[in-house]
Structure 1
Amino acid sequence: MKQRTISSVIGLPILIGIMVSKNSILINVALLLIIIIGLSEFYKSFKDFSINYSLIGIGFSALYYIFVLPDISGKLGLFIVLFSIFLVFYSILFYSKQNVKNIAITFIGFFYVTFMFSFIRQIISINDYGDIFVWFVFIIAWSADTFAYAVGKTFGKNKLTPELSPNKSIEGFVGGVIGAALMSCLYGIIILKFTGFHDNNFLYFCLVMGVIGSVVSQCGDLIASLIKRFNGIKDFGNIIPGHGGILDRFDSIILVAPFVYYFIKVILNIHF
């Protein structure tokens, strides 16, 4: 717990500093670095996974982030086709009985880590308020995690998924939902008070986004647990003392980021 606290005290100001700097180069480099490290952790978690396929996945992830993401609507389909063709040709040229598994893990890693996490950058670029709305991702994910842990530790009696994650409780799950909803609404109040954004229904949308987002967040945490249990590991890495790897710290954000993006685009965009 001491290591977790120290890491949070050091890491959180760095994250805030990078995000509020509004320096697109700094933000893009930081996000790409997180994606590469997280993807590397994902690939390493699978035993006997080919290092060559790992490099292919990481290389195409970098290409996607740098060249495709800025114009994703026009390039995503072509990128997926080229990615697939390259993997097929490589697998044929360097045949192995493990190549089917290697291809599957390479693709899953790309979509699970790179594609899903890249929605943070897409939220930032939505409109003039993107750099403000992107904080909903972190607030919902981390408040759900914090409240779920605190409530579960204090009141937890009924196991949520005893075989998958024995420490999680139904009480903690509910606490995470309530906590994320409250923090989402609180941030909504701050936005209305201190920015130029105004919408009569905004707090209602914040409440809905917090409730659904917290469920998505906790499912993201459980999916990470599912992967770790399958691979027989406790953590994805040890780069963050007390937290484990990048994926251990950002596992819930991976699913919350695309949810917040589409919630903003489909629901809130009507009122912009």
Structure 2
Amino acid sequence: MKQRIISSVIGLPILIGILVSKNSILLNVTLLIIIMIGLNEFYKSFKNFNANYSMIGIGFSFLYYVFVLPNLSSNLGLFIILFSIFLVFYSVFFYSKQNAKNISITFIGFFYITFMFSFVRQIISMNAYGSIFVWFVFIIAWSADTFAYAVGKTFGKNKLTPELSPNKSIEGFVGGVIGATLMAFLYGIIILNFSEFHANNFLYFSLIMGVIGAVISQCGDLVASLIKRFNGIKDFGNIIPGHGGILDRFDSILLAAPFVYYFIKIMLKI
């Protein structure tokens, strides 16, 4: 617990500074580093996964982030086709009985880590208020984690998923939803009072986004637990003291980011 607190005290100000900075290069490089480390952790968690496929996944993720993401709508389809063709050709010319599994893990890793986390950058770039909206992702996801942990530790009696994640409780899950919803609502109030952004019924949108986002982000945490249980590991890494790897800290962000992006885009018609 002490290590978790120290890591948060050090890490959060750095994250805040990067997200609120006007230096787009620093922001993009930071997000890319997080993606590369997280993807590497994902691939390494699978035993006997071919290292060459790991390099392919990381290489194409770099190309996606640098060249495809800035103009996603027109480039995504072509990129997926080229990525798939390259994987197939490589698997044919360097045949192995494990190649079908290697292809699946490579592509799932790209989609689960690179594609999903890239929505953080898409939110920031969506309009003049993107740097404000992106905080909904972190506030909802990490508030849900924090409140779920606190409520579950204090009041948790009924297991949520006993075999998958024995420490999680139904009470904690509900507490995470309530806590994240309140924090999203409070952040909505802050936006309306301390920024130039205004929209009708924005506080109602914030409440709804908090409820659904908290459920989705906690499901994201369970997906990460599913992968770890399948691979027989406790953490994806140890790069963050007290938290584990990058994926252990950002697992709930992976599903929350695309949800927040499309919720804002559809509900606020941005």
Do the structures match in fold with TM over 0.5? yes
Match runs of 1:15-30 below 5 Å: 15-30=15-30
Gaps of 5+ in 1: none
In structure 1, what is the equivalent of residue 229 of structure 2? 229
Root-mean-square deviation over aligned CA pairs: 0.6
TM-score (norm 1): 0.99
Q: Distance in 1 between matches of 2:197 and 2:241?
A: 38
Q: Distance in 1 between matches of 2:61 and 2:266?
A: 27
Deviation digits for residues 202-257 of structure 1, max 9, x if unmatched? 00000000000000010000000000000000000000000000000000000000
In structure 2, what is the equivalent of residue 247 of structure 1? 247
The answer as to whether partners of 1:144 and 1:217 remain within 8 angstroms in 2 is yes
More displaced 10-residue stretch of structure 1: 221-230 or 16-25: 16-25
TM-score (norm 2): 0.99
Match runs of 1:82-231 below 5 Å: 82-231=82-231
Count of matched residue positions in the alignment of Structure 1 and Structure 2: 270
**Amino acid of the structure 2 residue aligned with 1:48:** N
**Amino acid of the structure 1 residue aligned with 2:5:** T
- 1:77 and 2:77 aligned: yes
More displaced 10-residue stretch of structure 1: 136-145 or 16-25: 16-25
Gaps of 5+ in 2: none
The answer as to whether partners of 1:22 and 1:131 remain within 8 angstroms in 2 is no
1:200 CA displacement: 2.8
In structure 2, what is the equivalent of residue 2 of structure 1? 2
Q: Secondary structure at the match of 2:167?
A: strand
Q: Secondary structure at the match of 1:134?
A: helix
Q: Secondary structure at the match of 2:12?
A: helix
Match runs of 1:28-39 below 5 Å: 28-39=28-39
The answer as to whether partners of 1:116 and 1:258 remain within 8 angstroms in 2 is yes
Q: Distance in 2 between matches of 1:200 and 1:268?
A: 9
Q: Distance in 2 between matches of 1:175 and 1:23?
A: 37
The runs of 4+ residues in structure 1 deviating greater than 4 Å are none
Q: Distance in 2 between matches of 1:262 and 1:174?
A: 24
In structure 2, what is the equivalent of residue 52 of structure 1? 52
Deviation digits for residues 114-156 of structure 1, max 9, x if unmatched? 0000000000011110010000000000000000000000000
1:22 CA displacement: 2.2
Identity of aligned residues (%): 83
The answer as to whether partners of 1:91 and 1:99 remain within 8 angstroms in 2 is yes
